[in-house]
Amino acid sequence: MSFEITLSHQIGERAIALDVQSNARVLALVGPSGIGKTSVLHCISGLSQPASGRIVIAGRTLFDSAQGIDIAPQDRRAGVVFQDMRLFPHRKVAANLSYGAKLADGRPAAIAQSELLSLLDIADLQDRWPATLSGGEARRVAIARALLCAPDFLLLDEPSSSLDASRADVLAALIERIDLPILLVSHDEAQVARLAGHVVRLG
Amino acid sequence: MSSWLNATEWAIVALSLKVSLVAVFVTLPIAYGLAWVIARRRFPGRMVLDAAVHLPLVLPPVVTGWLLLVAFGRSGPVGAWLEATFGITLVFQWTGAALAAGVMALPLMVRAMRLSIEAVDRRLIGAARTLGASRWHAFRTITLPLSLPGIAAGAMLGFARSLGEFGATITFAANIAGETRTLPLAIYTGLQVPGSDLMVARLAVIAVILSLGALLLSEWLVRRSSGGRAHVL
């Protein structure tokens, strides 16, 4: 089982409930904006704590309220690509890319850095400040940064937003190329249908 | 310039610089810690802590000096402990002047640093955590460098405030020539003595130069550290 996610989470007035068991390598979570897709990703990455539930990905229990398991975000080995990218503004692209790699304790990434950078066409951006990147460039750097921290699985939040059609194809090829469980969330069901083996509707 | 100021006046300037620099360097980590706690932590008593930090800003400096005297005087609880444990006496010493200056500078330093810490996007810290950073590593690599402009601004404000410190200093450390008579105290003393007009004027010019220098230096540091994106002035 790649994904075993049962959680209930409360954000202000909104209650989020999710119960997914899936063997698909690429799982998509779809639903309209504001339904809580990003909150689910935060629960999985450890940045938020669900009220209750159990999160097991690739055989590793990350959270289990019944057993009192709550692995710290830095130890979940999740490669997160945030919808708002969150590149570090005071570090050049190269230093953004190496941030997680340096903390990976020598674990190898699922894809070599040189191959990743050429696939995403960002090898020439290394010396740039994040503030000077276009939206699409920043998105591709964020994807590379998440992969280079040698994660066990990927969490992608609206991964194809601000990527043009040809870049979206590159993303699809990348998702195909790396052999990691991937959970992606999107409001655009048509977009993810061709990427994911299993689509779950939220809300 | 060495002929412009006499040896006594140079000694006053040197003492002022020593007192202010020590005050700022010792206060800096304390102020940053307080700023971080007030900016990032939510706990009962946070408002009280915030108010206590700001107290020296609104209290008459003489009252702050008197409170220091009560706490750090030779028979005060902290003062007696320091003397018994480390053999340190602060009252009527230049170190006491530095303590008074540091306490008076604290609220300004905390304020500048707190604003810069609050301006650090917490989502970046979340991103760092998912990339494998512990809380401490994320603090060192994200919060600390991104709040450098506030640290520089706080240090500059604290230094300028320390240079100008008068009320708490004269109350706690007294006005002892060569020991606690800093620039403002020397100017005040000169005003009481007929015929000291020129010395007062020269020291006043020095005070202006030092304060302006601190301001420009911090502006330069902030611009350099932020790659030209932030500034104090």
Mean predicted confidence (pLDDT) in B144-166: 92
User: What band does B1 get if pLDDT is binned at 50, 70 and 90?
Assistant: very low
Angle formed at CA A52 by CA A47 and CA A56, multiple of 5 degrees: 70
State how far the alpha carbon of B58 is from the alpha carbons of B51, B62, B204, B210, in Å: 10, 11, 25, 25
Is there a contact between B222 and B232 (Cβ–Cβ < 8 Å)? yes
Residues B7-225, CATH architecture: Orthogonal Bundle (1.10)
Is B131 close to A99, i.e. CB distance below 8 A? Answer: yes
Mean predicted confidence (pLDDT) in B73-84: 92
Establish if A130 touches chain B: CB-CB under 8 angstroms.
no
* DSSP conformation letters of B185-207: HHHHHHHHSTT-HHHHHHHHHHH
Establish if A71 touches chain B: CB-CB under 8 angstroms.
no
Is there a contact between A129 and A90 (Cβ–Cβ < 8 Å)? no
* Residue A50: per-residue pLDDT: 93
Is there a contact between A155 and A41 (Cβ–Cβ < 8 Å)? yes
Establish if A74 touches chain B: CB-CB under 8 angstroms.
yes
- Residues B199-225 have pLDDT tens digits of 999 999 999 999 898 888 777 776 766
* Residue B229: per-residue pLDDT: 57
* Residue A36: per-residue pLDDT: 87
Q: Chain B residues with CB inside 8 Å of A47's CB? A: 126, 129-130
Q: What residues of chain B have any CB closer than 8 angstroms to a CB in chain A?
A: 121, 123-124, 126-134, 137, 141-142, 145-146, 226-227, 229
Burial label for B101, CB within 10 Å (0-12, 13-18, 19+), is: buried
Sequence spans of domains, chain B: 7-225
* Residue A11: per-residue pLDDT: 83
6-65 in chain A: CB under 8 A from chain B: 42, 45-47
Q: Chain B residues with CB inside 8 Å of A97's CB? A: none
Residues A3-201, CATH architecture: 3-Layer(aba) Sandwich (3.40)
Nearest CA in chain B to A154: B130
User: What band does B51 get if pLDDT is binned at 50, 70 and 90?
Assistant: very high
Q: What is the sign, positive or negative, of the torsion defined by CA atoms of A170, A173, A175, A178?
A: negative
List the one residue out of A132, A129, A100 whose CA is nearest residue A113.
A100
**Alpha-carbon gap, residue B154 to B214, rounded angstroms:** 11
User: What stretches in chain A show pLDDT beneath 50?
Assistant: none
Q: Chain B residues with CB inside 8 Å of A149's CB? A: 130-132
Is A88 close to B128, i.e. CB distance below 8 A? Answer: yes
Q: Which residue has the tokens 């939510």?
A: B42
Alpha helices per DSSP H over chain B: 7-40, 46-58, 61-72, 77-86, 94-118, 122-130, 135-138, 144-146, 148-164, 167-172, 183-192, 197-225
**Alpha-carbon gap, residue B138 to B129, rounded angstroms:** 7
Residue to mutate among B122, B123, B131, with most A CBs inside 10 A, is: B131
Is B130 close to A103, i.e. CB distance below 8 A? Answer: no
**Alpha-carbon gap, residue A42 to A52, rounded angstroms:** 14
**Alpha-carbon gap, residue B173 to B91, rounded angstroms:** 5
Enter the tokens of residue B161.
């405030």
